[in-house]
A and B are shown apart, each in its own frame.
Chain A
Amino acid sequence: MSMFDGFRFRSVTSPIHQMDPRAKFIYVCVLFAVAVTFNQLIPLVVLFIIQIPFVLIANVQKEWIRSMKGSGMFAVIIFFMNLLSLYFYGGYGSFTAVVERSLAMTVRFIVLVESFSIFFLTTSPDLLGLALEQSRVPYELCFAFITAVRFVPVLAEEAQGIMDAQKARGLELEGGKFIKRIRNYIPILIPLIVNAIRRSLELAETMESRAWGATKNRTNLYVLKPGRKDYYLISSAFLILAVSVYALTYIQFPSLTQMLGI
């Protein structure tokens, strides 16, 4: 049970967690759009910074830092890819301009990861499922999503059980050559798949027995009603959008080279 603990869904409460996922989603989309339109370093850095308060209010710093670290490797790759392609094909005058542009592209990537990770870190799957249901997404898809979240820890536990059972029959999972290692996993994968199929059959039986598909007009115990906070968030998203459009048309952002006077 231990190593799979991270998969477990736990409801966390914070002002951000309780918000309507749809409002958060609009916010994330706006940020996404804005980040994609800008290619200068300064506005992108600003976009990065204005999201940090969210992380703090939602109290997900640890998880957030972990996901930022996780994207670090990709950020480095993106930086060097940009650097190389811009240097050889970009037609930029100076090397510093190339560096600055590559840096901007990297920050853009980080902003994208940041906003999506905030969304997923602060949205519990049950609310997300509910939001999906109430956004005209076909119910079958929402149900599939919720069931997947529900059964990930169960399957993880099952995988552990299967590994134990096979190890107890002398299966060595560590060591050996690559091909042998893959072959070692067959005794684990087959029971895992067979059990998953069996389980899905049982689930289907239960669903049928609870009037699955009785009517097209399915109702819902819960309703998501956007509250004042959600409207604030949506408004601020549009504010950011407006400011960005304005900035894009009227403001000439100084480049780093100019600012530092190089």
Chain B
Amino acid sequence: MGIIEAKSLTYTYPIGSKPAFEDVTLRIEKGEFVLVTGPSGCGKTTLCRCLNGLIPHFYLGKLEGEITVAGLKVSDHPIHELAQHVGMVFQNPENQLFALTVEKDVAFGLENLGKPREEIRERVDWALKTTGTYELRNRAPYDLSGGQQQRVAIASVLAMQPEIVVFDEPTSFLDPLGARKIFEVINSLNKDLGITVILVEHRLDLTTRYSSRVIVLDKGRIVLDGEPRTIFNSEAVRLLGVGIPKATRLCQILKPKGVDLGRTPLSSEEAYELLREALKQ
């Protein structure tokens, strides 16, 4: 059984007239790094909200079909129970930190769960170190940069030791360098800790190199799902207006002109290597 399994999932917001997403069937295995993308309003954020029960428990509305996360049926378990298995990191770092010190913010989830103090201390320190924010622990969240705030937000999710972490466009308010650091942290959660990562992103140039799978949504439906290279090679992805990495794009437009590099590169380094090989011949 996959760590996330959805079967013909359809959801309509309480005020919505048509479904935010429709007939989504999906299976994600433990340890995958899944990149979810698609044009604005395609339903990707809404889909994320199902994974820890914000939908249907917080947003209400009509959820049809079935979704199981970490073996728990989402509609049968309260958010706080799901939250121990699925961490959520949102777009705006500012609105995810509400304590007066970083440390207190990271402890928030564990305090809510009523964990003993020693355990909280241990896990908070671990989460802070893992995200490289240990030095900031006594600072006020207000005084941190956006990138630092977002790393603290990741730490506060991590402290609850979830098996899955969902990131909803975590870098859209950050500058490229801050964004890159966040992606490195996310990647290490996946590669070093074996956490299943679901990353919703527009910025594919900085993220595809880490992912093992790309899911493209359009108008509330999954339209493409597969290995990044295969997805980016398909004509469909271009028609959907998904902004694929420029290095990938370059090789894509060279191909019909008779320059086939054999593989689809996901980063500039890779593109360079392939081009160099091709130029030698």
Contact = CB atoms under 8 A, between A and B. Distances in A.
Nearest to A212: B112
B215 interface: no
Given A202-B90, A209-B52, A149 B114 contact: no
B108 A210 contact: yes
Interchain residue pairs A-B with the least CB separation, the first 7: A214-B80, A210-B109, A221-B107, A211-B80, A126-B100, A215-B114, A202-B95
B166 to A, nearest CB: 9
B80 A205 contact: no
Interface of B: 52, 54, 57-58, 79-81, 83-84, 87-88, 90, 92, 94-101, 103-104, 107-117, 120-121, 124, 138, 140-142, 156-157, 160
17 contacts: A9-B140, A147-B98, A202-B95, A202-B96, A203-B98, A206-B95, A208-B54, A209-B54, A210-B108, A210-B160, A212-B80, A214-B81, A217-B114, A218-B114, A219-B111, A221-B107, A222-B104
Given A210-B157, A221-B107, A150 B141 contact: yes
A27 B98 CA distance: 30
A62 to B, nearest CB: 21
Contacts of B138: 11
Nearest to B104: A221
A261 interface: no
Interface in A74-93: none
Interface string A205-236: 11111111111011111110000000000000
A209 B104 CA distance: 16
Contacts of B116: 219
Contacts, number: 114
Interface string A31-46: 0000000000000000
Contacts of B81: 214
Contacts of A58: none
B58 A208 contact: yes
A65 B107 CA distance: 38
Contacts of A151: 98
A221 B117 contact: yes
Contacts of B111: 218-221
Contacts of A124: 100
Contact of A211 (B58, B109, B117, B142): B109
Contacts of A202: 90, 92, 95-96
Give chain B's interface secondary structure class: helix
Q: Considering residues B92, B96, B117, B142, which has the most beta carbons from chain A within 10 angstroms of its beta carbon?
A: B142
Contacts of A147: 98
B142 A208 contact: no
Given A149-B100, A219-B120, A214 B88 contact: no
Interface in A106-137: 124-126, 129
A206 B96 contact: yes
Nearest to B84: A211
Interface of A: 8-11, 124-126, 129, 143, 146-147, 149-151, 153-154, 199, 202-215, 217-223
Nearest to A213: B80
Contacts of A8: 142
A214 B79 CA distance: 9
Given A208-B58, A211-B112, A212-B112, A154 B94 contact: yes
A220 B120 CA distance: 8
A204 to B, nearest CB: 7
A152 to B, nearest CB: 9
A158 to B, nearest CB: 10
A214 B100 contact: no
A207 B98 CA distance: 9
Contacts of A222: 104
Contact of B114 (A9, A208, A214): A214
A212 B53 CA distance: 13
A146 B140 CA distance: 12
Contact of A221 (B52, B121, B142, B157): B121
A213 B116 CA distance: 16
A223 B117 contact: yes
Contact of B115 (A149, A199, A209, A219): A219
Q: Considering residues B96, B112, B160, which has the most beta carbons from chain A within 10 angstroms of its beta carbon?
A: B112
A162 B174 CA distance: 21
